Amino acid sequence: MTRDTKGEQEFLDAYKPKEYPAIAVTADLVVFAVGSGALYTALVRRGGHPFKGELALPGGFVGSRESAEQAAYRELAEETGLDLGHLPVHVEQLATYSHPERDPRMRVVSVAHLALLATDGHSLPELSAGTDAAAAEWHPVHRVLEEPMAFDHAAILRDGLDRLAGKMEYTTVAARMLPREFTMTQLRTVYEAVWNTTLAAGNFTRKMTPQLDDTGRKTQAAAGGAPASLFTASDRHIHPPLAKPRTG
Amino acid sequence: MTRDTKGEQEFLDAYKPKEYPAIAVTADLVVFAVGSGALYTALVRRGGHPFKGELALPGGFVGSRESAEQAAYRELAEETGLDLGHLPVHVEQLATYSHPERDPRMRVVSVAHLALLATDGHSLPELSAGTDAAAAEWHPVHRVLEEPMAFDHAAILRDGLDRLAGKMEYTTVAARMLPREFTMTQLRTVYEAVWNTTLAAGNFTRKMTPQLDDTGRKTQAAAGGAPASLFTASDRHIHPPLAKPRTG
DNA sequence: CTTCGTTATTATCAGTATGACAATTAAGAG
DNA sequence: CTCTTAATTGTCATACTGATAATAACGAAG
């Protein structure tokens, strides 16, 4: 069946958008970065009703001429002041939240995204207030998960953490939270921060070595200890997966 | 920080929905079922422009007072005539497609869902035309994937298949495409249909047995061959995962 | 320049999982 | 009873895992 281009063009010229429910679409962000051995997320504190004073995910309306992912990048820059042209950032779609009463003001469907920022594992990227009033601040994920949040954002944050934790079992996505070249210990620190656990260094190296590309170079040994090899990540799948230890 | 209920109520009473982009939200469905050893999907053929005559996913607008998932269930019933009260069906969200030009008529954001129907592995559920003109028909997935489809529906179908194939590695979701009680061979047939490959029966049984609950009962041996044990599935995760054989 | 503390990497080993394939068991059909 | 078919169990070499130890490569302190 070949497309009927002429009939289709006539149809489109005559087409008038009509009765469909008026729904606003937003792009919200679960932003993760690793600092001082712990996983942090960028949250804003709401300055107005509803949920005044509570923590919320950064995000905003999807514009008429942009995709949800484009809106996510734009809002990430606007609400955190991050220079995305400079900073490597990984953004992927998480899920869409569409319960009719999730926003008491009006019908809002939110396309949530997962954003991973690259750090050296020690210091977090500086966040600055954007055009909107509320500035984003870093919060330790495993602590803030126990507090209430605005709207259904606590559930979204939990889903984002679960997604990242799961995906790290069978991909090298954890490397997106590090500089392009990193050491095995830096990568292990990301796993430990996200999984909130500790991993045996030797076994971790044995498992990850064949999944990474060895640059052949080594770090300048910082203070005590041998110099570490520098690796880069590719998009290989980890097989069999690196299992997250059962919680306990 | 406790919620300021009084101030919030006043705010909500005064709130008027205002300038946000007008975007229509739809729920589309990738419906899978296994029949005669192959994976099938329910598709409608478009009767009007645009993409007149091409295959499309069933779906429709999300109503003002329903979630995207509720809309998916409703559209599944409407466009396929399936009695969901009777037929066990698994629905989960797949992803949201929001490219600004994905529908030439107007701005439409689609929340795609994955729906798995239970069959005996041989015959497919009967589809009947719903209120809409176009009736859904079953199409073999691995063949229809090579044909063009309306809108971005070919990409959505591909994503749905990838999601199902991947999830079957580490969950027992394949059992959602079978009756509550099923044999090991029936389950293996689902894996083979989705993965489009063959699996060694003995190794499959060894791997899956500890993931399932044995009812202790057996089938009446149909024609030749020993009777098979009947199992039910729980929500255990398969660990380590059952790896899909590398294609070839 | 030797020793010590620290960290990265490699090695060992027992237990478990895998893929390929063979053997056994349990029907129904002729 | 024997043949055919299908389900299940067994075998075996290889690979992977968790725990733990041994080795190697530094900087710093004496």
Is residue B89 pLDDT above 90, yes or no?
yes
Q: How confident is the model at residue A248 (pLDDT cuts 50, 70, 90)?
A: very low
A100 to B22: CB separation less than 8 angstroms, yes or no: no
User: Taking a contact as any Cβ pair under 8 Å apart, which residues of chain A between 20 and 49 contact chain B?
Assistant: 20-25, 48-49
The total of other beta-carbon atoms located within 10 Å of residue B211's CB is 18
B53 in A contact zone (CB under 8 Å): yes
- Record the pTM: 0.93
Asked if A240 reaches chain B (Cβ–Cβ under 8 Å), the answer is yes
Q: What rounded mean pLDDT belongs to chain B?
A: 91
CATH number of B23-168, picked from 3.20.20.70, 3.50.50.60, 3.40.50.300, 3.90.79.10: 3.90.79.10
CB A172 within 8 A of CB A211: yes
CATH fit for domain B172-232, picks 1.10.10.10, 3.40.50.300, 3.40.50.800, 1.10.3470.10: 1.10.10.10
CA of B231 and C1' of D17: distance in angstroms?
Answer: 29
Burial class (CB in 10 A: 0-12, 13-18, 19+), A13: exposed
With tokens 């109503």, the residue in question is: B63
Pair of tokens at residue A213: 């590309």
Strand D: list positions under 7 Å from protein Cβ: 4-10, 16-22, 24-28
- Before B125, cis peptide (omega within 30)? no
Strand stretches in chain A, DSSP E = 24-35, 38-45, 55-56, 59-61, 89-97, 108-117, 136-140, 212-218, 229-233
* A85 or B118, higher pLDDT: B118
Dihedral angle of Cα B49, B51, B54, B55, to the nearest 10 degrees: -100
Which one of A96, A110, A153, A159 makes the best mutation probe of the B interface by having the most chain B beta carbons within 10 Å?
A96
DSSP label of B52:
T
Please name the member of B49, B54, B100 whose beta carbon is closest to the beta carbon of A7.
B49
Q: Could you tell me where the DSSP H helices lie in B152-183?
A: 153-170
Contact A118, A173 (CB under 8 A): no
Chain A window 183-202, residues with Cβ within 7 A of nucleic strand D? 200, 202
What pLDDT score does B132 carry? 64
- What pLDDT sits at residue A13? 57
Query: Could you tell me the distance in Å between the CA of residue A247 and the C1' of nucleotide D19?
Result: 18
B23-168 and B172-232 have identical folds: no
Query: What is the rounded CA–CA span in Å between residue B79 and residue A228?
Result: 60
Name the CA dihedral angle for A153, A155, A156, A158, rounded to a multiple of 10 degrees. Answer: 120
Report chain B residues whose CB lies below 8 A from the CB of A165. Answer: none
Q: How far, in Å, CA of B74 to CA of B24, rounded?
A: 17
Q: What DSSP letter does each residue of A194-241 carry, written as one string?
A: HHTS---HHHHHHHHGGGEEEEEEEPPP-SSS---EEEEE-SPPPSS-
Q: What does the alpha-carbon distance between residue A57 and residue A115 come to, in Å, rounded to a whole number?
A: 12
Domain limits, chain A: 23-168, 172-232
Among residues B160, B240, B247, B235, which one has the least CA distance to residue B195?
Answer: B247
Chain centroid to Cα A88, Å, comes to 12
How far is the alpha carbon of B54 from chain A, nearest alpha carbon, in Å?
A: 7
pLDDT of residue A223: 73
Q: Which residues of A touch B98 (CB under 8 A)?
A: 25, 62, 67-69, 111
Closest partner residue to A8 (CB to CB) among B1, B8, B49 is: B49
Contacting A residues, span 100-159, partner chain B, CB-CB under 8 Å: 100, 104-107, 109, 111
Name the nearest CA neighbour of B56 among B156, B129, B127, B160. B156
- B243 contacts A240? CB cut-off 8 A: yes
- Decide: A76 and A59 in contact? Cβ < 8 Å: no
Distance from CA of A25 to the nearest CA of B (A): 7
pLDDT of res. B248: 39
What is the spatial distance between Cα B90 and Cα B82, in angstroms, rounded to a whole number? Answer: 13
With a cut of 60, say whether residue A184 has pLDDT above it.
yes
| pLDDT class of A21 with cuts at 50, 70, 90 | confident
